Structures are given as structure tokens and as C-alpha cells.
Structure 1
Amino acid sequence: MEITGTAQHAAWQARALPPVEEVRSGLWSIPVPIPHNPLRYVSVHAFALSGGGLGLLDTGWQSEESWTALTGGLAAIGAAVPDVRGVLVTHLHVDHLGLAARVREESGAWIAMHPADVGVVAGLNASGATAAVAGEIDFLVGLGADREEAASDVGPPERMEAFTRMAVADRFLEDGDVADFPGWRLRAVHTPGHTPGHLCFAEEGTRLFFSGDHVLPRISPNISTGQRGAADPLRDFLDSLAAVRDLDVAEVLPAHEWRFRGLQSRVDALTAHHEQRLAELLDAIRSHPGSTPWDLAAHLTWSRPWEQYERRMRIFAVTETDAHLRLLASRGLVVSSGGPVPTWTLAVR
């Protein structure tokens, strides 16, 4: 894999925000910070449209700091929010969709997403923060969490407010659709896994591949189960990786970290990572039969000691463990006890 976003990579190493860059004629990368998050920023891409105006791919986290960075980045390229005609959103997470409503309010721009993620957003907005918190706590208890511990990790409804006030897209993009960005040929590639409706975009003229969170150069995206998620998200993710592996791509422009070349090798590395993870989880079940996903997560290797995991980090770890369990079950390698809090053992073969 070759790093092509050298300024982005240098800024990452310096723990700084990278510069606004014109990566191709009429195409800019604008870093928008994600407050209090190890991913640090999302790369919003701005496209100059033939006939005037701009198109945006993703928007950034819903915060004043992020809005200031987005508007400042647009000003740096001689533009402003009212110039935006349309917004493509790779997926429903707040660091990508969060500012879309504000952009639409100030510009009248349309917003396009895959219908699977639009349905999740609409459901969250309709339920409200209090119901969303209660549902997530119940889901974690169903994975083996103590209710008080789950409630502490999820936090109060105020923490969920931003997730239940996001923009509902007014346009749908299905796999193979071409986005309405005049002067560009951005073909939507449905890549479920990270979310049910995750979209990548292949620009047919330049052979640029906007990978969203599907393929990142340094880390594996979180693949988790959830109360509104897919039944087997890791299987979906691995299938989606295989679907993009052999695309004719000149450069990959992910939503985080840095641009790179070598899509095939990165897909192979991500696939191998999850197979190793599945093997580690099998060993944990062999050593600790009859364990819940909450228990099994503590026996896996993470980026720091398990005792340091809490709140959203612990939730992601447990729900990612559950996603791996579901794939092992679909392969016939493990079985669950059933019931309100299933436990897992190796299948008899």
C-alpha cells in the first residue's frame, strides 16, 4: 500500500489537522474535526459542478467547531455554504451526516443516501433520545451486560440527542446509481457492513474511489450488531470487501486518515484481520464455554488493556464481538443457548 495523502499522513503523525487540499482539478479535501474522538477528523470532499456551485461528499460532526472548520475550508477554496447544490452522504454516522441538516438549511441543497440508512435515521428521529437510550441498554443486557453497567456506558439521553436529530435524506441512491453532480460520474457502490446502507463512490472519469469508512488505510472500521442493524453485519462487510477488491482504482480517498493506492492489498489485509479475529474468538469460546458476548470481549486482544475500556469504547468492543459470534454461528462453528441472554459454545462437529 502506497500513501498518497502525504500531507494528511504527516499531520496525523504530528497530531494536527491536515490542510485543505485540491486533490484533482475542481476537487478538494476539507478536514472537519470530530471533537473528543480518536479518529480526529473526517475528510469532506467538495466538487466543483459544471454550471456552477458545489457538491459535497459527507459533511462532518454536528458541532460548532466542526461547522467552523467546514465553512472555513469552503472559504479557503473561494466558496461558501450557499454554493452547495447537493450532498452525498456515505452513511448515517454523525461525523458524516451531522452537519447535513445545517448545510441544507443555509443552501437549499438536496441530501442523498442509501435507503437502508435513511430508514435507520428516520427511526431514531421518531423514537427520540430517551427511547433510543432505553433500547440500547436493553440490547446490551441481551448480550450479557449488567443493567446498571450498561446504563452507565450508554449514558443519559442528553448524550443521544445528536443521534436523534439528524437530517433525513430527500433522495435515495441505490447500488449502481450515478449521483447528480454535473461534470462528474460518481457511481454509488453499496457496501453494507459498517452500516446497512453504507455507500462508496467510484468516479469513473478519474478512477478515484471514495471509500467512506468501508476501507481505511490504518484501522478496520467498527463492524457491530445493534438493535436497528443487520442480522449478520460482518458477513455483509466481508462480502462488500470482496465486491470492491478488484475495481479499477487509481487512488482511494477514505473518509478518515489519508489517501492511498493499493485497494487490493488493503482489502486482503482487512479480510485477514477478521479471519484472525474469528480464530481468536473461537479459542476464547473453547477456553470459556457458556460465555456471553459481554464476557467473551474481555478475553480478546484490544488496543489497550480491557480494564481501560468503558462507555462507548466498551459498547463497540462488545457489539463487534457479537458480530463475530454471529458469523461463526452462520459458518456452523458455534451455537448459542438461546433465551433472553444467549451464551456461546463450540458446535459439535
Structure 2
Amino acid sequence: MKPDPIYVARPRLPELSDMMPLLEEIWGSRILTNRGPVLQRFETALSKYLGVEHLSVVSNATQGTVLAMRQAGITSGEVITTPFSFVATAHAIRLSGATPVFADIDPETLNLDPAQVEAKITPQTRAILPVHTFGIPCDVDGLAEVAARHGIALIHDAAHAFGVRRDGQSILRHGDMSVLSFHATKVFNTFEGGAVIVQDRDTKLAIDRLANFGFADAVSVDDIGTNAKMNEFNAAVGLAQLCGFDDVLAARHVVAGRYSARLEGVAGLRCVCPTGVAGHNSYAFPILIGPDYHIDRDALFARLEDANVFARRYFYPLISDLAPYSDLPSAAPDLLPVASKAAEQVLCLPLYHDLDEAAQNRVIDVILAGS
């Protein structure tokens, strides 16, 4: 008889005692959407928690990225991005009317390499869309220099980066805009949702309009927008999730620290994310399985599954290997050697705030068996 399954993620739910007053307010007002009072309080509380001045909450991060690019005037041309990400990163570029161009990644951080980005710039380049992969900050300074030198937009896919700080400041302050995901599997969730972080109030209001079909007022539509509004229920979940959230992050750090301590020094195995580093959010625990490990990545993946442990090969295959993108000139595997190698070696281990030590030891024991 197999033991209970251990999944790669287990969403945190807010306390029902924190949710009930918010639900009673929504039921009493019958305001369900269209930037209601709960959503507005959520935006204010979220801005304060994250340490940013201006943001717009939206229905999900994919829509948020499309809105950010629309606001930046990107409806055609090329956008340089990473192949080592969830497919939504490239989909948002295509949905905006632009074409993704893939650049290779840094072998240490697994984030976009600014030198590789610069080599891909052409007269058709309109923007750079890097990802803070696994919550590891990308080279924000190097990418900003490239963007400024060529006069193009810099929009960060910060789906993994809730609460991440660098030098005591939110990583979301960098670039022209950043986009967060509040999907169920993220460090912070509203079941579904996201936010666009911007640098000024005028841009925030413009994003709000684009998220509401382009309405400027009750009778005026200034742009072709879409319906990307977050509803009051999801906003209520977000408000309730903020309660005690620092404790959630601390618990995630404990889990990540246990992995690091027990897996340190295993031949052929590299833990990607830093632990014990101020400002990281322990979103995920990816490891790279190299040739010196006694079995390959896929064999370890299968061995974990046999033990009822469901790790994930994030991100395999590369976006550039998927059918909608594999025919692009920049998608050729020989142009992306670092990303291709990472995709063949990466394995994300189960990590969530209430993963108990006994369950975690089951995961680790499978990895150590035979080492």
C-alpha cells in the first residue's frame, strides 16, 4: 500500500474566520466586480506590503502581461524573452501581437543573460520580457542598461517573485512594469489573479482602463481594452491571505533549508535557489541532476513517482521546443545551449509552507538512495 501522495505544491488557504467578515460585506453590498470596495482595499494593502506605490490587480498574470505590453505600445515587432519559463510568458507576447525572440540564460541563475539579449536585438525589437525564475532576481541592472541603450521597454515577468527583495527594496520596482501571479500554486494566491506594478499613477489608471474594456468613463471608450478585472471574491481572498503571510514565508524558508542541509554535497546534484538569503521567497526548490549523479533526471523523476512523490520538471520542455514556437529562428536548440541543458536536468521538489519534516524526509530519502 502506497503512502499518501506528496505533491509539488499545496495551496495555502486563508483562515475562514478572516474570510467570513469579507464575504458578509460582499453579500450585503452585492457589489461583485468592477473595482468594488474590497478590491480597492486589497490594492492599498498589497501596495503597502510589497513596498511599491502603484499597482493594479487583475484577473491573472497572463492578462496582466498583455495589458503591460499594450500600455507600452507593443502591438507588433519582436520581444526578447527566455525559453526557460512557463508557456504563458511567450503566449502573452503573441497575444499582444508581437513575436517572441528567445535568448539564452545564465547557467547560475537560470535567468536571461543580458549579453545574450543584446545579441538578439534588431530594428524590430520593441521590448525585453525577462522572468525572475523561481523567485531568483534576474540581472535587473544589466537588462536595464541594455533596454536604455536601445530605447526599448523592459517589462519583468515576476510571476514567481512575490515578496522578493534586493538590497532591502522590492524587486518589483525595477523595469518599466512588473507582473505578479496570484495563481493557486504561487507563494501568495487569490485562487486566480495577478497584479501589474507600474512606476506612476497615470500608468496605473491606464492599466485599470485597459482591464475594463478601455472605458474612460460611463460613456467613453478610449482604447481597445479587454475584461481583465479581478472580482470582489478573489480580492477578499487576497486580503485574508495577507494576514500572517510573513509566517508563511518563514515556514517556506524552513522547508527549503532542510532540503539544502540534507542534499548539500551530493555528487551530481546542484540546488539552484539560495537559502538563508535575505529577500528570497522560497517559491520553489529546483535541483539540477548532472552526469555525476548515479541516475539521470527522468529516472529520478520516475523513482519519486513510484514513491508517490510528485515532483515536476519545470521547465521541460523549453517554450522554444513547443509547437507554437519551435519554428521560430531563435528557437533552434543550438542557439540555446544553456537553457537546453537546464531543461534536461531540472527537477522541482515539493515545497509548501506546511510540508512536515516526515513527509519531506520521504522525498529526500528517495533522492539519497544509491548516492
TM > 0.5? no
TM-score, normalized by length of structure 1?
0.30
Which protein has greater RCO, CA pairs closer than 8 Å, 6+ apart?
Answer: 2
TM-score, normalized by length of structure 2?
0.29
